[in-house]
Amino acid sequence: MVMGPGPGLRLINPEPTAARESLLILGVPVIYAWGLFWYGVQAAVVVSAYLTIWKPSED
Amino acid sequence: MDTATTTELGWLPHFCLAGYLLFLLGIGLWGFSKRKAGEEDYYLAGRGQGWMVSSLTIMATFFSSAAMLGAPGMVYKEGVVFALFALNVPLSGAMIYVLGNRIRKIGQTHGHITPADLVCSHYGSPVALRCLVALIGFLYAVPYVVIQIQAGGIISSQLFGGEHAFEIGACLLSLVTMLYIMIGGMRSVAWTDALQGTLLMGGMLLAGAAAVAALGGPSAFFEKVGELPRTSLSVPGTTGSFTPEKLFTLCIFGALGSMIQPAQWMRFYAAKSAKALRRSAVIFALGLTACFLFGVMLVGLGGQVLYPVAKPSADGAFEYQVQADGQAVAVSEAKLPERLAEGGKPLPHPDVGEGPRDFDQIMVVVLKRHLPELLGPAGLLLATLVIIAIMAAAMSTADSNLHALSAVLTRDIYSGILRPGASEKSRLWVGRGVIAAATLLALGMVFVSRSSESFNPIGMIMPMSLLAIAFSSQLLPVTFDVLFLKRGSRQGAIAGIVAGMLVVLMFSPLLTIVTGSDSAAVSLFARLKQIADIGFCGVVVNVAVFTLLSVIGKRTRS
């Protein structure tokens, strides 16, 4: 959460004076691509928790 | 593309909508036929919901018109930055198991029905804390129901046009929702939610695909999106509202606050087992985020291309339309922050709407105009289905909140405080009366807000939703204490909630109504709102007061 929609965004947010190309990566808005990447990370964390930490024994 | 071209949907939406509403009433009657005597069955469907119904009803309750209309509306207004708000959904999903399973276990052991049952039995506060927790439920549920009814009106006015289409749509949504909850209770609500959840997930993805197709496929879509104004493609967005810090607090408290609101809390009680919640958590976290990122958020972005909010001027800079002192004026990109700081409000493209709150209409406008153009009769049918999915999102949230509000006011206030010896039968009838009264209250608020020039507490859908979530977030400190820490005191819990709610109230339209729009207090809280989420501000004060009083109380006792 800190990296995806949080202060980590400052790492990739283009400067106001930067070239227009810096707003895109592989033709996709860099902010959107950043969101997709962190969605992948979050999904992996939830699936790992489901498989390992959240024990079926609680049923 | 000629954005002024309107493709009428004809009579198809009328038939589909009528069929859909009748089907919902049918489910209400089915729920009634399966009923068993007692409050536990009416409010929690006998605590027997499996993972499929649990996951769909939790998703449908979470996904309201804020997701289907508000989120694309915000992306259309602010740009791609708001798409990142979708990243709050996996955290919400995880909370279904982390908080939900503990709530379920304690609730099943002690026979709890409302959030106040659990909190008050832990702290031993039968009146004060019960009233406060019930008040939080009320302050969350009423605004949420209000915005769902407003969404029903927006859809109706976009679908059918005409002078009274908004009022008819709002009344129809309210009436049908009220009827099937009153008839069938939680069983009907959960099964209608299951249908609506399926519909709205499909609808969200279809809407995204429609927006991409309308611009000529993925490559052309992102090529045209890449030509949008710089502020639409970077942080903090068009109006400068979404700094990373604000977005971060918004995502954290949006995720947590929406998972401990009364309707979701009661769904945790209603789950049959830990397995039901564990699976629900994964389906929710993975499926819903995808629906956001690959669905409705793309509609907002595509909307910026199809119906530009900023036009390029001769020197290559962009020019926005801003409403200032009731007049629409053109403002250059460079002067936009200054104009907004003076109280100006950006306006959408005229084909989308005329007022600052009409950004929310982008979803319906894109679907209504472009799907039939692209696909002919099939597009007509698909556009109708997605618009019905938006109606489903509004109804599924309204029904869950009305049903939860009924439980909260009946169990916590009526039988918990006013008439402790009331029979179960009378409690159920009072509960039904609460549903009717709350629906009428919400409907009245929508009409007053719409007809009055000077009194408009509702505004756009998304800000209103975030205010409601900020109220429910004030339950977070006591919830974590009850479930994990167990170190707080009753006095601390009461004082913390009161302090947190007062802070949130300072951010609400109430402050403007009381002190006037140009008061120092209003501008101070408006500046604070730019920095962090409202719920976060309330919870910071809430936790500080809760901790302080709990520590002082412990020392005094020892």
> How much is the pLDDT for B7?
43
Size of interface A-B (CB pairs under 8 A): 121
Cβ-defined contact of A34 to B84 (cutoff 8 Å): yes
Beta-carbon separation of A14 and B234 below 8 A: yes
CA distance B286 to chain A (A): 6
- Closest chain B CA to residue A34: B84
Contact between chains at B94 and A6 (C-beta distance less than 8 A): no
Eight-class DSSP state of B49: B
B85 touching A (Cβ < 8 Å): yes
Pairwise CA distance, residues B410 & B438, whole Å: 12
Q: Does the beta carbon of B110 lie under 8 angstroms from any beta carbon of chain A? A: no
For the beta carbon of residue B516, count every other beta carbon within 10 angstroms. Answer: 10
Whole-angstrom CA distances from B373 to B328, B366, B369 are 31, 11, 7
As beta bridge partners, residue B331 has B320
Residue B414 CA to residue B403 CA, distance in Å, equals 15
Mutate to test the interface with A, among B99, B227, B248, B253 (most CBs of A within 10 A): B248
CA distance A51 to chain B (A): 10
pLDDT for res B37: 67
* Partner B, chain A 4-43, Cβ-Cβ below 8 Å: 4-10, 13-14, 16, 20, 23-24, 27-32, 34-36, 38-39, 42-43
Which amino acid belongs to residue B38? G
Report the DSSP pairing between strands B318-324 and B310-312: antiparallel
DSSP 3-state of B323: strand
Helix (H, G, I), strand (E, B) or coil at A15: coil
Task: List all residues 6 or more positions away from B275 whose beta carbon is below 8 Å from its beta carbon.
Answer: A56, A59, B51
CA atoms of B187 and B526, how far apart (whole Å): 42
Tell if the CB–CB gap between B248 and A10 is shorter than 8 Å.
no
| Residue of B234, B253, B282, B318 to mutate for A, most A C-beta atoms under 10 A | B234
Distance from CA of A14 to the nearest CA of B (A): 7
pLDDT tens digit string along B217-228?
999 999 999 888
B90/A31 Cβ within 8 A = no
pTM summary value = 0.85
Comparing alpha-carbon positions, the chain B residue that sits nearest to A54 is B278
Q: Could you give the ipTM of this predicted complex? A: 0.93
Low-confidence ranges of chain B (pLDDT < 50): 1-7, 458
Phi, psi of B454 (to 5 degrees): -90, -25
CA quadruple B482, B484, B488, B490: dihedral, nearest 10: 0
Rounded to the nearest angstrom, the minimum Cα separation between B390 and chain A is 24
Give the closest of A24, A45, A56 to B226, CB-based.
Answer: A24
Phi/psi of residue B71, nearest 5 degrees: -65, -50
Per-residue pLDDT reduced to its tens digit, B135-170: 999 988 888 888 888 888 877 887 777 778 888 888
Query: Taking CB atoms and an 8 Å cutoff, what residues of chain A touch B218?
Result: none
Q: Among B85, B245, B285, whose Cβ lies nearest the Cβ of A46? A: B285
Contact check, Cβ <8 Å, B281/A45? no
The C-alpha atoms of residue B444 and residue B450 are separated, in whole angstroms, by 10
Work out the number of other CB atoms within 10 angstroms of the CB of residue B419: 13
Residues A8-28: what's their mean pLDDT?
Answer: 85
Q: Which of A4, A9, A46 sits opposite B286 (nearest CB)?
A: A46
Q: Which of B85, B87, B286 to substitute to test the interface with A, most A CBs within 10 Å? A: B87
Structural tokens at position B473: 């977030």
Q: For residue B426, give the H/E element and its range.
A: helix B424-451
**Residue B363 · residue B299 · CB < 8 Å:** yes
Flag if B251 and A6 touch (Cβ within 8 Å). Answer: yes
pLDDT at B482: 94
By the 10 Å C-beta count (0-12 exposed, 13-18 middle, 19+ buried), B193 is classed as: buried
